[in-house]
Amino acid sequence: MKVLALNSSPRGDGQSKTAIMLNSLIDGMREAGAEVEVVSLSKKTIKPCAGCFSCWTKTPGKCIHKDDMTRELFPRWLESDLVVYASPLYHYTVNSEMKAFIERTLPVLEPFFIATEGRTYHPLRSKAPKVVMLSVAGFPEESVFDQLSSWVNFIFGKNSIHENALVAEIYRPMAEALTVPYYQNIAKDVLSATHAAGQELVASQTISKETMSKITQPMVSNPEDFLELGNLMWKTCIAEGITPKEFGAKGLVPRADSARSFLALMKLAFNADAAGATDARLQFKFTGDIEEACYLAIHKGTITGAIGSVDQADLTVNAPFEVWMDIVTKKADGQQMFMEQKYTVEGDLGLLMQMDQFFGSS
Ligand SMILES: Cc1cc2nc3c(=O)[nH]c(=O)nc-3n(C[C@H](O)[C@H](O)[C@H](O)COP(=O)(O)O)c2cc1C
């Protein structure tokens, strides 16, 4: 099977979630024996369709533009058995690079009108490849792909001129979480299912329901926490004057702005392996701008927490909220601040020393 895999994300490898998903898919395809060629569309020159219909009249089957699409990509697309259109979801559809590519496949059609069962078509001039649509989105709900899916089914699906060319649709919501260290276990599962999908596509031209449900599984148990943390990340980016890419590269932690968001962040950052058999109740008593108490309870590798006070705390931290957030976000050194008496603790000092390990991704 000859596969042409097109990635239209303008982001580089490592940062592009489309590329991360596509790489797993094509690894699986290659392992199953497919010959896969990958093209990054943002590195190619693909002019917009001029709408002149020369490809239907003067030079049938050939576009007037002299660019990478005419010279290289359209001939390769025609020779392929299967094309993977891999695009980030932009404004609920494929991005403009991908749309330009798809529009420029117009020469594969003939101009004539044919009508079947109330729908008008232009007939195919020659065989076109089967289609897999892969897309990733920032928002968490699967329904963000509804419009894209409807369009893709209309032009490549059962009743289209492409005669049931659409083999599979792979949609990953909340894809930005794929590179967040705290979601690494789920991300691994999603990517290994995407790898399996590549193998299944080559073997049987379908993706099993089981594999698909692993690909689309929720990345977080509580999407509201994720939204809150996402908003904190954006606030931190704005405050620091940096992009999300720079935020990631610097290994920054979002800065909580309430005891509630502090708890959500700490639960997310909790490293069960590092905590091991630790059994501890950590009480935080914040003063200053945010006067609130909250606590975290670590027990057998799990963590719970709530606003308020816990009975028999093993460690109590009394700190101005902003001082503690400076420490959490590594703007200030915890030990230094302790020596300077910017905060005080009561109880097991050993727990204070271990906090960096309990709440870190490594
Ligand atoms: C211009 C633009 C439009 C976007 N539109 C949507 C959207 O409609 N729905 C959504 O869930 N995410 C949207 N996103 C977020 C991207 O889909 C998301 O960040 C994705 O992971 C990017 O994929 P990439 O890393 O491969 O470039 C948009 C991003 C940009 C830059």
Residue to substitute in 89, 174, 180, 234 for testing ligand 1 pocket (most ligand atoms within 8 angstroms of CB): 89
pLDDT of residue 27: 98
pLDDT digits (tens, 9 = 90+) for 193-209: 999 999 999 999 999 99
Residue 361 binned pLDDT confidence (cut-offs 50, 70, 90): low
299 and 235 in a common domain: yes
Distance of CA 17 from the midpoint of ligand 1 (Å): 10
The identity of residue 359, as a single letter, is F
Q: 110: domain CATH number?
A: 3.40.50.360
227 and 175 in a common domain: no
Q: What is the chain's mean pLDDT, rounded?
A: 94
pLDDT digits (tens, 9 = 90+) for 74-93: 999 999 999 999 999 999 99
pLDDT digits (tens, 9 = 90+) for 92-107: 999 999 999 999 999 9
Q: 230: domain CATH number?
A: 3.30.1050.10
Distance of CA 93 from the midpoint of ligand 1 (Å): 10
211 and 314 in a common domain: no
Q: Is the CB of 137 under 6 A from ligand 1?
A: yes
139 and 200 in a common domain: yes
300 and 173 in a common domain: no
Q: Is the CB of 88 under 6 A from ligand 1?
A: yes
pTM of the model: 0.91
Average pLDDT over residues 13-28: 95
Q: Provide the domain limits for residue 98.
A: 2-215
231 and 207 in a common domain: no
251 and 286 in a common domain: yes
Distance between CA atoms of 244 and 215, rounded to whole angstroms? 24
Whether 249 shows a pLDDT value over 90: the answer reads no
191 and 56 in a common domain: yes
pLDDT of residue 228: 85
pLDDT of residue 268: 84
86 and 188 in a common domain: yes
Q: Which of 215, 243, 259 is the last residue of a domain?
A: 215
Whether 362 shows a pLDDT value over 50: the answer reads no
Domain count, the chain: 2
71 and 19 in a common domain: yes
Q: Specify which residues 114 forms β-bridges with.
A: 121
Whether 276 shows a pLDDT value over 50: the answer reads yes
Residue whose CA is closest, atom 17 of ligand 1? 137
Distance between CA atoms of 152 and 143, rounded to whole angstroms? 15
Closest CA to 21 of 130, 135, 98: 135
pLDDT of residue 14: 80
Distance between CA atoms of 171 and 222, rounded to whole angstroms? 20
Distance of CA 324 from the midpoint of ligand 1 (Å): 33
pLDDT digits (tens, 9 = 90+) for 303-320: 999 999 999 999 999 999
211 and 227 in a common domain: no
Q: Is the CB of 172 under 6 A from ligand 1?
A: no
Closest CA to 87 of 189, 5, 206, 183: 5
Helix (H) or strand (E) holding 146: helix 146-156
pLDDT digits (tens, 9 = 90+) for 5-15: 999 999 987 88
In the chain, the percentage of residues whose pLDDT exceeds 90 is 82
313 and 234 in a common domain: yes
pLDDT of residue 299: 95
